[in-house]
Each structure stands twice: as C-alpha cells, then as structure tokens.
Amino acid sequence: MFDPESYRREIEEAVSVIREQLSANPGIGIILGTGLGGLVDEMEIEKEIPYQQIPHFPVSTVESHSGKLIIGYLAGKYVIAMQGRFHYYEGYSMQQITFPVRVMRRLGVQRLLISNAAGGMNPQFRKGDLMLISDHINLLGTNPLIGQNLDELGPRFPDMSEPYAERLIDLAEEVALQQQIKVQKGVFIAVTGPSLETRAEYRFLRATGADAVGMSTVPEVIVGVHMGMEILGISVITDECFPDALKAVNVEEIIATANKTQPKLTTIMREVIRKL
C-alpha cells in the first residue's frame, strides 16, 4: 500500500542528497526518452549523478536508458536532465515512476520539458517527424495520484484543462519556424506496453482522437501538473502505425529512428530553453 508519510520522507532524502551537489537552483527540468539522451552532449556539464547514488530513486532497467541525472548549463540556463526514465511496464509503481518529477519540483524546477519515442497513428505523420504534444489521453488504467493526497504537494483533483502549456507550445512552434524544422502537433495516448499494439488496437487508439501512442510521459505530466509545473512535451515519431498498412517493427529500429531524429529535437529543446 502507498504510504504517504514514507513517500514524503523519501522525496526529501533524495532532494537533500542532490541539493548538496548543485551550485544553483535549477529552474528547468528535462526528461529524455528512449534513444533521445543526446541533448546532454550540448550541455556544459557540471555534475552527473547515477540514479544508484540517489536514495529511493528507481534504477532504470531498459538498456537504451543510461540512468543518471545530468546537471549543468544549456543555452545559458542551469538545468537538470534525466537521462533515462522509468516505465510502468518495467514493473515500478506509478509513485516510483513519478518520484523524480516530485524530486525535481522540490529542487526548484518549475518548467519541465519531456521527450518520448512514439508510434505515429495520424496518417499525415511520417517516421522521423516531431510532434508537439497538445494534449493527452491516459489509457494506462491507473493514475499516479491514486492514494491519499499529499495536500502540500498539490490538490486532490488537479485541473487538466491545459496540461501542456500553450505558451511553451507557441514558443516551440516559433523556434521550429526559425530553425526550419517541420513539426506536427497532436494528442498523445499512453498505453502500458510492453507489447506493441495490434492492428485492431491501432484502429481503436486512432478512433479515440489520438495522433501518437507511447508507453511513457503521461504519469510524469500528471504529477507535474499536480505540483504546478509548466510542461512541454515532444514526441519523436519512430514508426508508422497505420492499421491497414502495418509493418512489423522492432525496438532496434525504433531506437535507430529516435537517434536519427535527435538533432531536430535537441535544437528545438535547446532554443526553447534559451527563450525561457
């Protein structure tokens, strides 16, 4: 059972270990998705903290995620980036998956930039496109806020009318235009995975109004909104999920496409951060 008292204490213990190693207050947090850790190459790195060294931090089990906090300067701003995130399919609880977001907020992070690899269902989308997330659908069958609410962290029934800040979406579109990078915009739907979807499931997911599907992001966004963060979400479309022309994919291809698309994502994130 979720024990709110221990959760609160665990958050504070992680915060104090990280805070000792910071030279300033990070106002911006970044979560890098599968195959998308390359943004840190653009950082002037001050400190790297492997997740194993942070009390109560889950340790990521997916090989494509290296699992550390990277702290330093990006486009002149002091940021804290998670290279490697946690997925529900790895067997963690919703509270564990979102623990780092709680910790980042307590460290002073107000703006959160999140990336993920996603399957494109909108027939206009192509492999290698970027999609600014305008809204989401939580199809995980659970919610990270279930259990006793910690009122000092956020409200019992957080508003979800604008989980992805319009202001940040506008900024990202402005940057994309300036940098001549094509971006799509659409609704992201989260499923648990780890199995990819059947054709019938893609048909169903598309009919819900979703444009892209993935196995992450939504829990972190819900917790970010709970704590009052301003959020920008960007999906990298790593495969085309068109039910009537579906081809088999494997995770290696998904990661290869994510890697190839990284430079566009990195440019947008970096330039948005510059303008914040």
- Report the distance separating Cα 48 and Cα 68, nearest Å: 7
Q: Which of residues 77-116 bind ligand HPA (CB under 6 A)?
A: none
121 contacts ligand HPA (rule: CB under 6 A): no
118 contacts ligand HPA (rule: CB under 6 A): yes
238 contacts ligand HPA (rule: CB under 6 A): yes
259 contacts ligand HPA (rule: CB under 6 A): no
Closer Cβ to ligand HPA, 165 or 249, answer by number = 249
Cα angle 45, 51, 54; round to 5: 100
Among 10, 129, 197, 220, binds ligand HPA (CB under 6 A): 197
Sign of the four-CA dihedral 65, 66, 72, 74 = negative
- Report the distance separating Cα 176 and Cα 179, nearest Å: 5
Is residue 19 within 8 A of residue 246, CB to CB? The reply is no
240 contacts ligand HPA (rule: CB under 6 A): no
Q: Which stretch binds ligand HPA (CB under 6 A): 73-81, 150-158, 165-173, 189-197?
A: 189-197
Give the burial string for 17-49 (b: 16+ CB within 10 Å, else e).
bbeeebeeebbbbbbbbbbbbebbebbeeeebb
276 contacts ligand HPA (rule: CB under 6 A): no
- State which residue has the least CB distance to ligand HPA: 119
224 contacts ligand HPA (rule: CB under 6 A): no
- Report the distance separating Cα 270 and Cα 274, nearest Å: 6
- Report the distance separating Cα 87 and Cα 217, nearest Å: 9
Q: Which of residues 18-47 bind ligand HPA (CB under 6 A)?
A: none
Write out the residues near ligand HPA by the rule CB under 6 A. 117-119, 191, 193, 196-197, 213-215, 238-239, 241, 254
